[in-house]
Amino acid sequence: MESKDVVIIGGGITGLSTAYYLAKEGLRNIVVIEKSYLGSGSTGRCGTGIRQQFTTREHIILMRESVKLWKEWENNLPKSVHFRQGGYLWLLKESEMDAYREYVRLQNILGVNSRIIGKDDVKLIVPDINTEGIAGASWCPSDGNAYPFDTIDALRIALKRFGILIRQFEEVKEIKVKNGIIQQVVTDKETFNTHFVVDAAGFGARKVARMVGVDLPLKLYRHQIAVSEPVKVFLEPMVVKGELYFTQTYRGRIIGGTDLNEQPTESLSSTDEFLPQFANEILSVLPTISSLNVMRQWAGFYVVTPDHHPILGGTDLPGFLLGVGFSGHGFMLGPVVGKLLATYIMHGTMYLPEANNLDLRRFRSGCLIQEKAVIG
Amino acid sequence: MNDKDVIICRCEDVTLADIKKAIKDGYTDVESLKRHLQIGTGPCQGKTCIPLTEKILARELQKSVEDVGVVTSRPPESPVPFGIFLKGDKKNGK
Ligand SMILES: Cc1cc2nc3c(=O)[nH]c(=O)nc-3n(C[C@H](O)[C@H](O)[C@H](O)COP(=O)(O)OP(=O)(O)OC[C@H]3O[C@@H](n4cnc5c(N)ncnc54)[C@H](O)[C@@H]3O)c2cc1C
Ligand code: FES
Domain boundaries, chain B: 3-85
Pick the ligand that lies closest to the CA of residue B48.
Answer: 2
The ligand 1 site (C-beta within 6 Å) comprises: A 9-15, 33-36, 40-43, 45-49, 171-172, 200-204, 208, 223, 225, 257, 300-302, 326, 328-332
User: Residues A346-376: pLDDT tens digits?
Assistant: 999 999 999 999 999 999 888 788 887 777 6
Using a CB-CB cut-off of 8 Å, the residues of chain A touching B75 are 270, 296-297
pLDDT of residue B94: 37
Task: Nearest by CB to A279, from B32, B35, B82: name it.
Answer: B82
d(CA A140, CA A256): 19
**Angle value at C-alpha A61, between A59 and A64, nearest 5 degrees:** 105
Q: What is the whole-number distance in angstroms between the Cα of residue A63 and the centre of ligand 1? A: 17
Nearest beta carbon to residue B79 from set A168, A270, A294: A294
Half-sphere exposure for A77 (CA within 13 Å, toward CB) = 27
For range B71-87, the mean pLDDT: 79
A26: Cβ–Cβ under 8 A, 6 or more apart, which residues?
none
pLDDT at A337 (0 to 100): 98
Instruction: Please state which CATH number belongs to domain A2-48+149-218+307-365.
Output: 3.50.50.60
Instruction: Quick: pLDDT tens for A209-264.
Output: 999 999 999 999 999 999 999 999 999 999 999 999 999 999 999 999 999 989 99
Segment among A5-14, A160-169, A365-374 with least mean pLDDT: A365-374
Does the distance separating the beta carbons of B74 and A275 come in below 8 Å? no
Q: What pLDDT, in 10s, does the model give residues A103-115?
A: 999 999 999 999 9
Q: Which atom of ligand 1 approaches the CA of A333 most closely?
A: 11
Mean pLDDT over each residue of chain B, to the nearest integer: 83
Rounded mean pLDDT of B57-73?
A: 79
- Say yes or no to pLDDT of B93 above 60: no
Establish if B78 touches chain A: CB-CB under 8 angstroms: no
Ligand with an atom nearest the CA of residue B39: 2
Neighbours of A15 (CB within 10 A): 29
Q: Which among A196, A217, A159, A208 has a CA at the least distance from the CA of A35?
A: A208
d(CA A259, CA A239): 15
| Tens digits of residue pLDDT in A126-161 | 999 999 999 999 999 999 999 999 999 999 999 999
B90: confidence class by pLDDT, cuts 50, 70, 90: very low
Share the mean pLDDT of chain A.
96
The alpha carbon of residue B72 is apart from the nearest alpha carbon of chain A, in Å, by 10
Estimate to the nearest angstrom the gap between the alpha carbon of A219 and the chain centroid.
Answer: 16
Q: What is the mean pLDDT of residues B30-50?
A: 86
pLDDT of residue B91: 44
* ipTM of the shown complex: 0.83
CATH dotted code for A86-142+219-304: 3.30.9.10
Q: Check residue B73 and give its pLDDT.
A: 64
Name residue B52's amino acid.
L
pLDDT tens per residue, range A181-217? 999 999 999 999 999 999 999 999 999 999 999 999 9
Looking at the complex, does the CB of residue A291 fall below 8 Å from at least one CB of chain B? yes
Cβ atoms A330, A42 nearer than 8 A: yes
First CA to last CA distance, chain A: 44
Q: For B3-85, which CATH class?
A: mainly alpha
- Check: CB of residue A340 under 8 Å from CB of residue A352: yes
Q: In this model, does residue B1 exceed pLDDT 80?
A: no
pLDDT score of B77: 66
Which chain A residues are closer than 8 Å to B46 by Cβ?
A: none
For B29, which residue in chain A has the nearest alpha carbon? A37
**Segments making up each domain of chain A, as ranges:** 2-48+149-218+307-365, 86-142+219-304
- Which residue of B41, B81, B92 is in closest CB contact with A292? B81
CB-CB contact of B16 with B9 (8 Å)? no
pLDDT reported for residue A178:
97
> Which-ligand-closest: CA of A327?
1
Residue of B82, B85, B92 to mutate for A, most A C-beta atoms under 10 A: B82
How many A from CA of B87 to the centre of ligand 1?
34
pTM, full prediction: 0.92
- The pLDDT score that the predictor gives to residue B79 is 84
Q: Which of residues 5-44 of B touch A (CB under 8 A)?
A: 26, 29, 31-32, 35-36, 38, 41, 43
Contact B81/A291, CB-based, under 8 Å?
yes
Residue A354 has what pLDDT?
A: 96
Q: Which residues on chain A are in Cβ contact (under 8 Å) with B85?
A: 275-276, 279-280
Q: Say if CB A77 and CB A154 are below 8 A apart.
A: yes
Determine the atom of ligand 2 nearest the C-alpha atom of B42.
Answer: 3
Does B73 lie at the interface with A, CB-CB under 8 angstroms?
no
